Structure 1
Amino acid sequence: MTTFNPLYLKVYQSLLNQIKSGTLKHGEKVPSEKELAEQFEVSRITSKKALDLLSEEHYIERIQGKGSFVTYAGTGTDAAPPAERKSQDRKLIGFILPGFDESYGMDLVKGIEKHCSDYGFTVLFKMSYGKKEIEERAVNEFLDIGAEGLIVFPVHGEHVNNKLLELVSRNFPVVLIDRFIKGIPASFVCTDHQKAAGELTAHLFDLGHKEIGFLSPPPDGTTAIEERIVGFQLAHSEYGVKLNREYILTEIKNSMPIHSAGDPDIFKEDILKLDSYFAKHKNLTAVAACEHSIAELAVERLRAAGRKVPEDISVVCFDSPGNGRIHFTHIKQDEWTISRNAVNLLMEKMSDHKFAVQHVFVPHKIVEGETEKPMHRVMY
C-alpha cells in the first residue's frame, strides 16, 4: 500500500479555514514559507507546497519578492476563486476512463452523461488510454476548468495516482468506477469481480470442463484483475478440481481490441506469449479471459494454430458486444446501473462533504454465446 504524507495538507487546511472564515481577509498577506514552516514544525518544502496548492485553487496570489496575498473574499463576490465561479456558472463534472468500445464502456459514457444531465451538470470527458500520466493531467485540467467533482475509471497499475489521493485526502468529491485503488479511501461502484469470475469458471465446470486456462493483464495492484484471478481459483476449490497454476497467464498487456490501433510492439509480444502458452498447454479444453480484447486475440491465435472454437476449445470472457464478430459467452456488467449509482454517490458527496465512503457492487449475469461447447456432464 502506498503511504501518503499529509503534512502539507494540514498547513493547507489551516490556511484555507482562516481564509474562508475571514480570519485572513481579502488582500491580506499570508504568512511566508519560513513562518509557516516554523509555526507547523515542517520543512519549507512542505509549507511551499501548501501555498502552491492554495494558489492553484485561486485562494491566494503569490507575487515574487513580495509574498502571498488572499484573493478570496467569500462566495458570491467578485473576489471568489475563479474555479468556484466557473463551476457555479456551468456546473461541471469530470469523467476520466481508459477507453471504451462496444464490448464495455459505451453505456458507461452514455449513462454518466445522462445521469449528470438529470442533475443539471455538464460532463467533461477524457480518455487516459491506460496511461497514468494522462489520467493525472486530466484531473488537473478538469480542476482548473472548475469541475466540482470527478468520476474516475482508474487505469491498471500498482502506482497510486497521487493527485487523486491528494483530492480524496482533502475531501474533494471523487467516485471510482469498475475498481477501487488500494490506499485511496474513495467511494466506488463496480461489479463483484471475484464473484463474477467464480461464476464464469463454475459455468465451465458445469459444462464438464476441468482443464481450464485463465488469461489476464498483470494484476499490478489492480483490484478488478486481482479479484477475477481469486474468483477463478476459488471456483476450483469449490468444485474440488485441482488448480494448475501454470494455466494462469497474467502477462497479456494490450487492452485494445485487435482491430484497433495499439502499441505494435506490445501486440507482437502478446501474440508470442499466447502462441507459446497454447503450444505448451494443448490439453486445455476451455479458457476464461479477463477482458474481451484478450478473448478476441486468444481465438485468433487458437485458429492460427489449427484449433477450432468451440469445437476443440471453449473461450469465455468478461464483456462482449452484441454486434461483435464473435459472440462470446461472457459476464455482462450492468453499465447503466453502475453509472447511475456513481453519479448519485457523487452528488451526495458534493452536497454533504461528511458523506461516508460507500462501496457499491452492482449485479451481473452470464450471457451464453457461441464460443462454448459442453463436454461430458460431470457430477462434482
Structure 2
Amino acid sequence: MSTTHRIPLHRRIAEALESDIRGGSFAPGARLPAEPELAGRFGVSRGTVRQALGTLRERGVLEAIPGRGSFVTSGRPSRPETRRRVIGVIVPSVAEPYVPDLLGWIEDELHARGYSMLVGSSGSTREQQAGRIARILEEGAAGLIAYPIDYDPDPALFAHLVQSGFPVLLIDRHLVGLAIDSVLPDNLGGAYSAVSHLAELGHRRIGFLSTDNLSTTSVAERLQGYQQALVAHGIPLDDRLIWAEIPLRRRWPREVRAQNEVALIARHVAREQPTAIFTLHDGLASDVLDAAGSLGLRVPDQLAIATFDDDPPASQLSVPLTAVAQPREQLGRQAVSLIVDRIEGRRTEVARIVLPTRLVLRRSSGGQVAFAGESTA
C-alpha cells in the first residue's frame, strides 16, 4: 500500500475494507479474516489493522464478538447519523479577506439542508492540507469542499479520496486530469472583460502582473483571458509585459512582503513602461498603486489598473480599483448543492460549474465608473 498519502494508514485500510464489504466481498454476518491475515495482506502491523477494525466498528460496519473475531453487521453499512450530517471545508486561511464571507454562505446553505460545517485551514502547504483533510476524515465527515493549495496541490491525495468513494468538491480551481466535481468563477471570461475594457480605452501596452504559480488553473485561465483579449483587439502579444515572478504570499511578515513586492513591481514598470496593468488579484493591484506612487505616476492618468476578485478593500483604497467581481455567494451555495446531491445519491456524474463574473468600473482604470456587465460563462 502506498505511503505517499498523508491520510493515516489505518484510515486507508478501513476505507479499503469497507469498499470490499460494500462491493459484496463479505456478506452481512460474514467473518473477516483474522488480524494476522489482514496484516499480511496490507503489509502493516497487527496494531494498525486493529485500529482500522476499530474505525469500522465505530461506523457500525463491523461488530466484534469476543473469542470469535470481527463480523459484518446486518443491513447496509453506514456511519452513525450524527456523522453523516457534517461537511468538511478546507480553505487556505481564514485570515484572507474573502474567506469569512465565503464560509458564511457555505454554512448558511449547509444549515438549510440539515448539515453542519467543519473548517480546516491548509496554510497553503501540502503537509498542512493533508493533515487537515485527515482530521476531517477522522471526524467522520460525509464529504469535503476543498480550495486546493497552489504549486503542488497533491492531486494524488484527492484522486485517492474520490477512488475510495468519498465525496469531494473543489472550489476556485480544478486539478488537471482528475474527474472531480468543481465550482469555479469564470476566470478566463472575467480577465477577458477587464483587459478588453483597458484596450477599449485606447491602451496598447497592457501588462499582466501575477504571482509565480502559473500551474494553478485559475491563474493560467486569467492569463489566457488576458492574451485572448489582446488578440481580439489587434494588440500584439509581448512577453516582456507578462510578469509572473512574484512569489506566492506565505507567512513571512506582511510589511516586509509588501515592501519587497512594491520595489519589484516599480522596477518592472519603470523598465517596460506599460500604460495599463491587469493584475491577478486585488492585493497585487494595491501594490501597483504603491509602486506607481513611488515612481511619481498618476493613476489612472499615467497608469491604468484593473484587477480580479473585488474583495471589500478594492473599493476602499486611495484610488478605488476597477475589478472583476467574483460570485462568492453563488460559488459557496452551488458547492453545497452539488456535494449534498452527491452524498444523498441524487447525482453520480461529475460536474464542473463555471459561474459568470462581472466587471465593476472604478477610478483606477479611468473609464466611466459603473457596473459594466457579466462574463458569458
The TM-score bracket by the shorter chain reads 0.7 to 0.9
Is 1:209 the counterpart of 2:215? The answer is no
User: Deviation of residue 127 (structure 1)?
Assistant: 2.3
Amino acid in the other structure paired with 1:221: S
Aligned 8 A contact 1:103 1:292 in 2: no
| Matched positions, count | 348
Q: Does 1:242 align with 2:236?
A: yes
One-letter identity of the residue aligned with 2:238: N
Corresponding position: 1:111 with 2:116: no
CA shift, 1:295, in A, is 0.8
Moved more, 232-241 or 16-25: 16-25
Partner residue in 2 for 1:324:
316
Q: Residue 36 of structure 1 corresponds to which residue in structure 2?
A: 41
Check the 8 A contact 2:28/2:72 in 1, yes or no.
no
Q: 1:64 corresponds to which residue?
A: none
Match of 1:73 in 2: 73
How far apart, in 1, do the equivalents of 2:49 and 2:194 lie?
51
For 1:217 and 1:14, locate their aligned partners in 2 and report how far apart those are by CA, in whole Å. 45
Alignment of 1:1-380 (within 5 A): 13-14=19-20, 17=23, 21-22=27-28, 24-25=30-31, 29=34, 32-33=37-38, 36=41, 44=43, 54-55=52-53, 57-58=55-56, 70=70, 73=73, 84=80, 86-88=82-84, 91-99=85-93, 104-255=98-249, 262=253, 266-282=257-273, 284-320=274-310, 321=312, 324-325=316-317, 326-352=319-345, 355-373=348-366
Which has the larger displacement, 216-225 or 285-294?
Answer: 216-225
Q: 1:69 to 1:177 in 2, by over 3 A?
A: farther
Change over 3 Å in CA distance of 1:239–1:58 after alignment to 2: same
- Using the size of structure 1 for normalisation, the TM-score is 0.79
Please give the secondary structure, in 2, of the residue aligned with 1:13: helix
Q: CA deviation at 1:101?
A: 6.4
Q: How far 1:225 sits from its partner (Å)?
A: 0.3
Give the 3 Å change call, closer, same or farther, for CA 197–36 of structure 1 in structure 2.
same
Secondary structure at 1:331 match in 2:
strand
TM-score, normalising length: structure 2: 0.80
Q: Could you tell me which amino acid in structure 2 is paired with residue 312 of structure 1?
A: Q
Indicate how the Cα distance of structure 1 residues 301 and 120 shifts in structure 2: closer, same or farther if over 3 A, else same: same
For residues 121-152 of structure 1, the C-alpha deviation after alignment (integer angstroms, 9 at most, x for no partner) is 11111222322222211111111112111111
Q: Shift of the alpha carbon at 1:105?
A: 3.3
Structure 1 distance, partners of 2:130, 2:289, is 35
Shift of the 228–51 alpha-carbon distance from structure 1 to 2, 3 Å rule, reads farther
Change (3 A) 1:168 1:275: same
Q: Relative to 1, partners in 2 of residues 1:327 and 1:374: Cα closer, same or farther, differing over 3 Å?
A: closer
Q: Percent identity?
A: 22
Q: How many Å separate the matches in 1 of 2:315 and 2:228?
A: 32
Give the direction of change, closer, same or farther, for the CA distance of 1:85–1:244 in structure 2 (3 Å limit): same
Deviation of residue 305 (structure 1)? 1.8
Matched residues in 2 for 1:212 and 1:53: separation? 59
Q: Using the alignment, how far apart are the partners of 1:355 and 1:210 within structure 2?
A: 47
> Structure 1: where are the runs of 5+ without partners?
38-43, 62-67, 376-380
The one-character-per-residue Cα deviations of 1:257-295 (angstroms, maximum 9, x if unpaired) are xxx97466655543342132122112x110001111111
Give the C-alpha shift of residue 118 in structure 1. 0.3
